[in-house]
Amino acid sequence: MIKLDSKIPEGPLAEKWSRYKTGLRLVNPANKKKIDIIVVGTGLAGAGAASALGELGYNVKVFCFQDSPRRAHSVAAQGGINAAKNYRNDNDSIYRLFHDMMKGGDYRAREANVYRASEVSNDVIDHFTAMGVPFARDYGGSLDTRSFGGVQVSRTFYAKGQTGQQCLLGTYSSLNRQIAKGTVKIFPRRDMLDIVVVEGKARGVITRNLVTGELERHSAHAVVLATGGYGTVYYLSTLGLGSNASAAWSAYRKGAVFANPSFIQIHPTSIPVLNDYQCKLTLMSESLRNDGRVWVPKEKGDKRHPNEIAEEDRDYYLERRYPAFGNLVPRDVASRAAKERCDAGYGAGDTGLSVYLDFKDAINKQGEKAIRDKYGNLFEMYEKITGVNPYKQPMRIYPAGHYTMGGLWVDYNLMTTIPGLYAIGESNFSDHGANRLGASSLMQCSGDGYFILPNTISDYLADDIRTGKIPVDQPAFEEAEKQVADRIQKIMDVGGKETASSFHKRLGKIMWDYCGMRRDAEGLKKGMELLIQLEEEFWKNICIPGTDKELNQELEKALKVADFFEVGRLMCEDALQREESCGAHFREEHQTETGEAKRNDAKFAYVAAWEYQGPKAKPILHKEALEFKYVELKERSYK
């Protein structure tokens, strides 16, 4: 059985990282050339890590399923990236950023990791600026910032509503630079289907070439997963359609423990579902809540046109319930409040599953131009999708599955429980606790990739300077490839009637209904049962046209969906054991009289890390106790 060791260094919080770093072993430049590293995923974390490792002189192989690294889903992050620069003189500091993240995460994250993420945030901004990322600037030419949900300072750097795109393209450019230098080799259009573990160490991956359908073996001295989150478990989510859990899941199956799977953020401001064939929910950046006011009609089932509903007939429920933070409460709180209103029958639109986000006051006060400058592209996007002009009438929004705080368990080095296997960015669990604050995802991904992993990985690789190339013709690779090939064959052989998307949709519905924004024990048990039934049905009735030896998008989808059944089950399992409400995880059984989340620090101040025991067996739960020395655990109040 695995024993968790978080390897959190001793010493005062503010000095942990710098002290620890100096103690890490290095690999000398001549030896770096002898070491191969595989990076899977080319989002902010993956591309950042690959380029940073390339700069150091390692041989890096980087994989992505898209045709270009530039299309990784970091590209879709809108609002911004946090850093404790204190450019506004609003008394911001690394400690305050740390504190906000701890509180925002409802005290379910590691202090040391969160502090480190805050610490490197300033370096991240400097590095992006140096790479030419066009952050918004004020007239004097300095970087501009804006405020974001859950905090009272203005520390979010942004590039219109396309901050993720600009940061990713900056990272992509640094990756390209290394590709040109030959230190990084890029393998696009590859799905990673399995990790290869040799003598207990991660030594390679099995990938499928998505164009030819061939399985390929790649070996390395260390493997870094930067494969993002599993939010598509809900089918309808703000993620890209290709985003999936399979890479992380294959690591889980090979023995990497998976932490806090049920912590999954439901973003409060996405465009609501408009038709039955919809397979994607588009996010409207949280930054909109800076100027937009959220409301529903005061009267149940008031179906009047929003512009006709008079001021006194509107219920600005966030301002009413949370006067201190108003419309800028954290995401989990805003999402639940919206769901509460809609469930109570006050929702807007035909379906009653949406609330209004109104810019009338902001436009009256600041002028349409000011609003256009800040959010122009988001407003355009909204109009394109819905056909409604948000300058003239309020937007309709509804919560949607968005970000997974849970992920592969990693220690302070960002290494999973499989030696040599690292997880960075959204694919690990480390920095956001039970809820992520807006704009700290880009920050964490870039910090992990550029500034943390390159330091910690050398400590592990220092033992590998004499290992030499890892041959791919050894039994572990053969076996892994055979397993993958068998799985593909099995899925191709079913020859059923139902498409992968259809199964995915049904799966998503189960997850949304039973393991979504509000959960209870009965529902979670029911959900697990339904998942088992659906999985059985899947293996009897999945239909995949074509062959596996060609570009076959249906096969790609089916392989991803096949893993989601297990992901969903583990989510339910985790949600069930956590008999408290914290952050994004809300148990009906555990709430205050006013309907706020009720945490139980005495019993649940731990990371729930699950160890795989086989496809049908119940996984083993390991608990990593969380120690809080620098923050006081308080009820998270935004009132």
Partner 1 sequence: MNFTLKIWRQKNANAKGSFQTYPLKDVSPEMSFLEMLDYLNNQLIARGNEPVTFEHDCREGICGSCGLYINGRPHGPQRSTTTCELHMRDFKDGETIVIEPWRSKAFPVIKDLIVDRSSFERIMHAGGFVNVNVGCAPESNSNPIGKLIADKVFDAAACIGCGACVAACKNSSAMLYAAAKIAQYAMIPQGKVEAKERVDKMVKQMDAEGFGFCSNTYACEFDCPKGISTDFIALMNREFFSSKACKQKHA
Residues annotated catalytic, as ranges:
331
Interaction between residue 98 and partner 1 (CB under 8 A): no
**CA distance linking residue 168 with residue 44, whole number of Å:** 5
Interaction between residue 236 and partner 1 (CB under 8 A): no
| Residue with smaller CB distance to partner 1, 131 or 633 | 131
Interaction between residue 545 and partner 1 (CB under 8 A): yes
Q: Which of 2, 21, 95, 173 binds partner 1 (CB under 8 A)?
A: 173
Nearest of 562, 493, 484 to residue 213 by alpha carbon: 484
User: Contact, 4 vs 188, CB < 8 A?
Assistant: no
| Residue with smaller CB distance to partner 1, 301 or 387 | 387
Q: What is the dihedral of CA 445, 451, 456, 457, to 10 degrees?
A: 70
Q: Which of 5, 26, 211, 313 binds partner 1 (CB under 8 A)?
A: 211
Residue 391 vs residues 137, 318, 361, 385, 635: alpha-carbon distances, Å: 24, 22, 11, 15, 38
Interaction between residue 478 and partner 1 (CB under 8 A): no
**CA distance linking residue 406 with residue 263, whole number of Å:** 5
Of 72-80, 347-355, 395-403, 411-419: span binding partner 1 (CB under 8 A) = 72-80
Q: Within 99-138, which residues bind partner 1 (CB under 8 A)?
A: 123, 125-127, 129-138
User: Contact, 401 vs 270, CB < 8 A?
Assistant: no
**CA distance linking residue 342 with residue 557, whole number of Å:** 33
Supply the minimum distance, in Å, between the C-beta of residue 276 and partner 1: 8
Residue 576 vs residues 340, 504, 566: alpha-carbon distances, Å: 21, 23, 15
Interaction between residue 139 and partner 1 (CB under 8 A): yes
Q: Within 411-450, which residues bind partner 1 (CB under 8 A)?
A: 450
Q: Which of 76, 388, 465, 494 binds partner 1 (CB under 8 A)?
A: 76
Which residues are paired to 237 by β-bridges? 401
**CA distance linking residue 216 with residue 204, whole number of Å:** 11
Interaction between residue 155 and partner 1 (CB under 8 A): no
**CA distance linking residue 216 with residue 421, whole number of Å:** 19
Interaction between residue 179 and partner 1 (CB under 8 A): yes
Supply the minimum distance, in Å, between the C-beta of residue 142 and partner 1: 5
Q: Which of 26, 344, 370, 551 binds partner 1 (CB under 8 A)?
A: 551
The identity of residue 69, as a single letter, is P
Interaction between residue 165 and partner 1 (CB under 8 A): yes
Q: Within 354-413, which residues bind partner 1 (CB under 8 A)?
A: 380-381, 384-385, 387
| Residue with smaller CB distance to partner 1, 271 or 582 | 271
Interaction between residue 66 and partner 1 (CB under 8 A): yes
Of 73-81, 244-252, 469-477, 613-621: span binding partner 1 (CB under 8 A) = 73-81
Interaction between residue 465 and partner 1 (CB under 8 A): no
49's tokens: 């890590």
Tokens 């045709």 appear where?
A: 67
Supply the minimum distance, in Å, between the C-beta of residue 132 and partner 1: 5
Q: What is the dihedral of CA 518, 519, 520, 522, to 10 degrees?
A: 130
| Residue with smaller CB distance to partner 1, 260 or 458 | 458
User: Contact, 111 vs 627, CB < 8 A?
Assistant: yes
Interaction between residue 494 and partner 1 (CB under 8 A): no
Q: 314-315 and 293-297: which strand pairing?
A: antiparallel
Q: Which of 87, 95, 606, 630 binds partner 1 (CB under 8 A)?
A: 87
Using CB under 8 A as the binding criterion, the count of chain residues that bind partner 1 stands at: 79
Nearest of 233, 227, 212 to residue 562 by alpha carbon: 233
Q: Within 250-279, which residues bind partner 1 (CB under 8 A)?
A: 274-279
200's tokens: 């207990």
